[in-house]
Amino acid sequence: MPPDRRGDPIAQDVHLLARCAARPEIVWCQHHNGVFRSEDAGHAWAEVTAIRPSKFGFAVAAHPSDPLTAWFVPAIKDERRVPVDGKLVVARTRDGGKSFDVLRKGLPQRHAYDLVWRHGLAVDASGERLAMGSTSGGLWISEDGGDSWAALDARLPPVTAVRFG
């Protein structure tokens, strides 16, 4: 951000904010220009640079009770907006953004054009079950914190939001 536009709200492009329910002062941000984390309810932010394969994406889900854990769905920025290298992955941190696991088991790893929008990733109250839907009609569920994913055996219209009841 150019210094003279730092406070300009129009210059910011926050894709999604997610809070840890048990520690609401911990806020994760998927921004157009990267991933950020706040430990003081959004008053100050630190950039998270360890995320891979890309810092760009739309979705973020914060673990409901572990303030160090969050999930992101990386993509290519601007010109194409598809998964990096045509492989759909989920990036998970368990140490507050110092490192990330790239989770791919059960997700398309060839010719994937599944973009996950802002509200297309959700975690349930246990922090173990996740759901993810894509713009190309894919829907996946993980029962183990994202380590592995299973696809719904159907092609849907574009999925713009998933939620647990």
What CATH number is given to the structural domain containing 66?
2.40.10.500
Give the chain's largest Cα–Cα span: 50
Q: Based on the number of CB atoms within 10 Å of its own CB, is 10 exposed (0-12), middle (13-18) or buried (19 or more)?
A: exposed
153: tokens are: 């055996």
**Does any domain span residue 103?**
yes
**Does any domain span residue 44?**
yes
**Does any domain span residue 98?**
yes
**What is the pLDDT at residue 106?**
98
**Does any domain span residue 56?**
yes
**What is the pLDDT at residue 165?**
87
DSSP string over 53-77: S-S-EEEEEE-SS-TT-EEEEE---
**What is the pLDDT at residue 11?**
66
**pLDDT tens, N- to C-terminus, the chain (165 residues):** 567 777 776 667 889 999 999 999 999 999 988 999 999 999 999 999 999 999 999 999 999 999 999 999 999 987 778 899 999 999 999 999 999 999 999 999 999 999 999 999 999 999 999 999 999 999 999 999 999 999 998 889 999 999 998
**What is the pLDDT at residue 2?**
63
What is the rounded distance in angstroms from the CA atom of residue 137 to the CA atom of residue 158? Answer: 5
**What is the pLDDT at residue 29?**
96
Domain count, the chain: 1
What is the rounded distance in angstroms from the CA atom of residue 123 to the CA atom of residue 99? Answer: 20
